[in-house]
Amino acid sequence: MTKKDMQFKPVTHVLFDMDGLLLDTEVIYTRCTEEIAARYGKTYPWEVKLKQMGRTAPDLAKVIVEELGLPLLPWEYAAEARIIQEKSFTECQLMPGAEKLVRHLKSKKIPIAVATSSSEETFKLKTTNHREFFKIFDHIVFGSSDPEVKNGKPAPDIFLICASRFPDKPAPENCLVFEDAPNGVTAALAAGMQVVMVPDPRMDELNRSRATFCVDRLENFKPEVFGLPPYDSAAT
């Protein structure tokens, strides 16, 4: 843990972001954007990446084109990016601790779901080697292709819709969100949920500070901090 252990409001349901949280895709997004930016004599600074992390595909493309001053329309950038990404997304690996935590919650009958800004089509590429893992979740909401998600992160829509699709429709305050991006943290808080942030090591304190709780690595999270069943001693 990056902070002294303390008890927060107990939760009953858990929602997970995907990119950079469950799957190590951010390095692919970074490499892709750097390659396209270089074609036009531009660089891709960390400050711009912060602004686009967690957004839906259309919003992401718009931010990158505008912030980098690329001589492209957002859809043109997205088309170029797609070609590069399709070659790499099938190589995505799970983040450290992701499988352990998800399987633990499932074994304890905690309702779990994914709220990703990806489209369903892109999700299928990214999860090529992890089909069985993603079947563990009760459901998955795709922010870039779900017609009910009118506004992407940092708006709260995706988390509210994701929670509403559990059969028992939990109140927002009973949901815990896991996120790696500031936009996702903002969205979760706007939805009235607690949020655990697992930030990129480069993330400054200001962007970490709004989260309910921060942990340096997902594998170091202690479920009991939020009233969830602790790991069995043999699994710790």
**Active-site residue set:** 17, 19
Of 73, 66, 36, nearest to 52 by C-alpha is 66
Q: Nearest 5°: phi and psi at 38? A: -65, -30
CA atoms of 16 and 179, how far apart (whole Å): 7
CA atoms of 80 and 58, how far apart (whole Å): 13
CA atoms of 197 and 6, how far apart (whole Å): 15
| DSSP 8-state assignment for residue 189 | H
Helix axes 74-88, 57-68, angle to 10 degrees: 110
